[in-house]
Structures are given as C-alpha cells and as structure tokens.
A and B are shown apart, each in its own frame.
Chain A
C-alpha cells in the first residue's frame, strides 16, 4: 500500500493506493497518523478510491487511526471508498462511526 499526503483547508488528506492487506505499510498507517497527531494535525481524510484489496489489517489500521484521532479531539473521514470497502463498513457496522463521502472535498467540508 502507498500513502500520499496532501493538505487542504487545515485537513490532511491521505491518498491510499494498492493493497491494504498484511504488509508493513498497511499496519504502519496507524503510526503515520500518530505522527500527524504529534504534529498537531488531527483532522484527517483518507481517500480510499485506489485501494485494490482490503482486509482485516487495513480495517484494524483504519479503526486504530480513528480511535487515536478521536482521543486527541480530532476526527477521521473516509472518502471514495470502493463498493467492497463500503460493504465491509456496513456488515461490521463501522459505518456508524466512519461515514464515507463521495468526494474528498465533501469529506473535508464535513469537518
């Protein structure tokens, strides 16, 4: 999995691409977010439109990131989640805490 970081209106956008499975980069997503928190950046959008494979490691990294951001008065929004990822959100009830937005701009506007 690859992570590309940009920023807009005080919100960090992490564009994720590739396989969000059992690799160090997927597991390291939470560490990446913790570094953002250390820098005082606590509003994060994850653009998941280019994720080709989503598994429990990705799910864990996403939830751990959400929890860390919330614990630091921040928030995580998800944008452009694929149909498969949206299915996982629905079946695991994650949709209750992590809402998906159709575009990155919509996710940014939701803060």
Chain B
C-alpha cells in the first residue's frame, strides 16, 4: 500500500463525464486499496453519490454540477461530493435491514441507504448558497 497521502479533485458536469471520471475513481482506489472488494465497494458508493448529485443538482455560474474530491490518508479513503440544489434526507440510522428498510422502499430513495451499507461513515451537511456536501469514508484494511 502506498504511504503517501493523496488527493484528487474531479469536476463533473454530465453523466457522460461521470463515465469518464469512473476510470479515475477506480485507478485511485486500486492504487490505495489492498483488495478488489474494497475497490468495488468504494467505486459503487462514489458513483451512486455522484450520480445523484448530477441528477438532482442545479447548474450554477462558474461551478460544476458535481465536484468530487477523493482523499487517501493511509487508513481510509474519503470522498467529498458537492453539488448545488435542494437539501436531501440522509436518515439518522446507520444500519438498514432488508425486511424493515430495503423491501419497504417503493419509489426510489435507496441511494443513501445503499451508500451507508457500503461505507463506514456518511455525513451530510448543508452549506451556504444551497450547497450540499456529502462526505463518505471507507476504512481500509491495512497490512501489518
């Protein structure tokens, strides 16, 4: 595993650009994760968050539809996903059950429960100027 801290920032303005950004996300995860399962899980969570940011975000002058920052700090990978638009619900609980939660959703709204199931930490905050910020973290298994 690489010992250096590393950050990358990706500006995304469309679903096509997200498709291109996907390669950078996978490359970043592969560089810092020791197993393929972590790469898959982090990739899916980031794509889900970014996809929703693009879908529900609104375009602002000189701002991208979705701004994604990836940070590796030796023990975890953190993704910060920002967009502008309506606030959204992130649910207070951290764990979801198949019977009580997933099978009950009929019309969408599974994005955050899916991300929470895949990642170790999910934090949402509402910033000035209608900015949404979602911070998702996956703790990595570090080889001793």
Residue interface bits A8-23, CB-to-B below 8 A is 1, else 0: 0000000000000110
Whole-angstrom distance between the Cβ of B18 and the nearest chain A Cβ: 10
- Name the interface size band of chain A: 20 to 34
Partner of B110, one of A53, A60, A67, A97: A60
Residues of chain B within 8 A (CB-CB) of A36 are: none
Complex Cα–Cα for A93 and B99 (A): 9
Chain A at the B interface: SS class: helix
State whether the Cβ of A92 lies closer than 8 Å to any Cβ in chain B. Answer: yes
With A56-B110, A92-B96, A93-B98 as contacts: A83 and B51 at CB distance below 8 Å: no
Chain B at the A interface: SS class: helix
Q: How many residues on the B side are at the interface (Cβ–Cβ under 8 A)?
A: 25
State whether the Cβ of A59 lies closer than 8 Å to any Cβ in chain B. Answer: yes
Complex Cα–Cα for A43 and B98 (A): 21
Residues of chain B within 8 A (CB-CB) of A92 are: 96, 98, 102, 113-114, 117
Residues of chain B within 8 A (CB-CB) of A87 are: 37, 40-41, 44, 118
Interface, chain A (partner B; CB < 8 A): 21-22, 53-57, 59-60, 63-64, 66-67, 83-84, 87-88, 91-94, 96-97
Interface, chain B (partner A; CB < 8 A): 36-37, 40-41, 43-44, 47-48, 51-52, 55, 96-98, 102-103, 105-106, 108, 110-111, 113-114, 117-118
Q: Pick the 4 closest A-B CB pairs, nearest first.
A: A56-B110, A56-B111, A93-B98, A91-B117
